Amino acid sequence: MRYLIMLSTLCLGAIFHAAAQELPQLQLLNMEIGVQPDGFGGEVLVVAGEAHNVGADAYSQVSILVEALDAEDQVIGEGFGYLVDACGTALLDYALPPGGVQRYSAPFELFAAGDVAQVKLTIDARAETYQTASVAAAPTVPKIASGEIVMLEWLDEQTLIYGVGCAGAVFTELDWWRYSFSEGSLSQSEHPDAARVTPEMIELADVTLVSQSGERNPALYYNSQLTYSPTARRVVYQNDLHSIYSSEPDGSYRRVIHRNLGRRSLRGFLWARNPGVFLAYYFGAYGEPVYYFTADVDGQMRSAWLENLPPSAIVPGPAPDGYAAVVGRRNGAVSGYYWQALYGDAELLFEAELPGNNYPAPVVTRGEIYVIREIDGWPTLQCFSRQRRDIRTISALPLPLTREARAWAWLSPGGGKLALGMNGVNGGLWWLETGGGCA
């Protein structure tokens, strides 16, 4: 878990015991005890691990009772936990299928004095007959991996790295993997920029600076979404007031890019095809409008200020130079994709039913626009030619998107492959050949 910190002094005396005699089909694995933020500026004790369903039924409404006992078997602490996603959000409506493994988190409090000698976990859940989903009509698109895949970078046309974890987490908090298409190999990896993120770099860039007091709060780093450009030198991030900054790789030569974003929730940075150009996008929850702006890592805005741009119904896709973006709009009964000049008017590209803000943003090259939207019940990849003003359907995609899941798309440097990542309990990484784009 992102915030789990091991308590070695407590673990030395604790004996984990999962009392699940009533549900032997649910096994608790890899249990750890630690602390995590409680949402009120403090910390709370937590037991975390994985629940493995070894039975034939699915299990919903999974809850975990925690009891902390002293050496005399007296209960001195209690708490409850649930299955959670990579961000620690409780999966209250999720049914763990047969063979499934899912993370759980169970916070607890000590209400009596004494040393913890044993932590007892008791599982409760509702068994449901497992219904195998029909996959007869599922699109056949190669899948590289499962997991909550929320970041990806192409190293070259045949190699990529991807990060598994919580969407919105800083890249150093993700688990990174490397996949080679030429070798067909998958291996654990480190992000090539991870070694650059040092305490000295974080301090020099003022990532953890509390603007009002001038003090340092290490927790601010985890909300900074700090990321190095995959095509240029500098790094971008937000501070405690959600202002966007860039700096040199070592944190020096800070430049402010956009202020007055404190009321917005940064969801991520999208890198355009031109070196160092990015789009920052903001929204609250599923279905809400998406706000955005474009800039480059040298500190130059490419668009108008965020508050001066009309919002999009979808996550916008930046043009290669960042001076325009492909957005989604609904005007009465008509909806479609527009070419939004970021200092001017919007031009309708084509009419279409728009996906939600959990779908991948359009991928924009110099002559083509890749869009993913639902057609006949499946997320479907299409390619729009700006020169011919026509659209070609490439493939339906096996993305099991729900309102609780998000997906992203990354085009390879040469444009021949498109990688698709998705988070949530059914998350994974897929890829397909673009087939020459709109040709």
b/e map of 18-42 (b: 16 or more CB within 10 Å)? bebeebebbbbeebebbbbeeeeee
b/e map of 117-142 (b: 16 or more CB within 10 Å)? bebbbbbebebeebeeeeeeeebebe
Cα gap 273→153, rounded to integer Å? 13
Identify which of 361, 401, 393, 357 has the alpha carbon closest to the alpha carbon of residue 377.
Answer: 401
Cα gap 39→348, rounded to integer Å? 44
Cα gap 436→293, rounded to integer Å? 30
pLDDT digits (tens, 9 = 90+) for 194-214: 999 999 999 999 999 999 999
Question: Beta-carbon neighbour count of residue 256 at 10 Å?
Answer: 11
Cα gap 327→304, rounded to integer Å? 15
pLDDT attached to residue 64: 93
pLDDT attached to residue 137: 57
pLDDT attached to residue 39: 67
Cα gap 65→47, rounded to integer Å? 10
Identify which of 79, 78, 65 has the alpha carbon closest to the alpha carbon of residue 112.
Answer: 78
Cα gap 305→429, rounded to integer Å? 34
Cα gap 127→418, rounded to integer Å? 39
Integer Rg of the chain from CA? 23
This prediction's pTM: 0.90
Q: Which residues on adjacent β-strands are paired with residue 153?
A: 161
pLDDT attached to residue 11: 41
Identify which of 201, 159, 166 has the alpha carbon closest to the alpha carbon of residue 181.
Answer: 159
Amino acid of residue 19: A
- Walk me through the domains of the chain, giving residue ranges and CATH numbers: 5-128 (2.60.40), 135-167+367-439 (no CATH)
Beta-strand pair 255-258/266-271: unpaired
SS3 annotation, 73-138: CCEEEEEEEEEECCCCCECCCCCECCCCEEEEEEEEEECCCCCCCEEEEEEEEEEECCCCCCCCCC
Amino acid of residue 284: G
For residues 42, 46, 50 and 52, what is the CA-based torsion angle, rounded to 10 degrees?
-130
Q: Where are the alpha helices (DSSP H) in 177-286?
A: 199-204
- Digitized pLDDT (tens) for each residue of the chain, 439 residues in all: 333 433 333 443 344 443 444 578 899 888 888 888 776 667 889 999 999 999 999 999 999 999 999 888 889 999 999 999 999 999 998 999 999 999 999 999 998 888 888 888 989 999 998 876 554 456 789 999 999 999 999 999 999 999 999 999 999 999 999 999 999 999 999 999 999 999 999 999 999 999 999 999 999 999 999 999 999 999 999 999 999 999 999 999 999 999 989 999 999 999 999 999 999 999 999 999 999 999 999 999 999 999 999 999 999 999 999 999 999 998 888 899 999 998 878 999 999 999 999 999 999 999 999 999 999 989 999 999 999 999 999 999 999 899 999 999 999 999 999 999 999 999 999 999 998 788 7
pLDDT attached to residue 2: 37
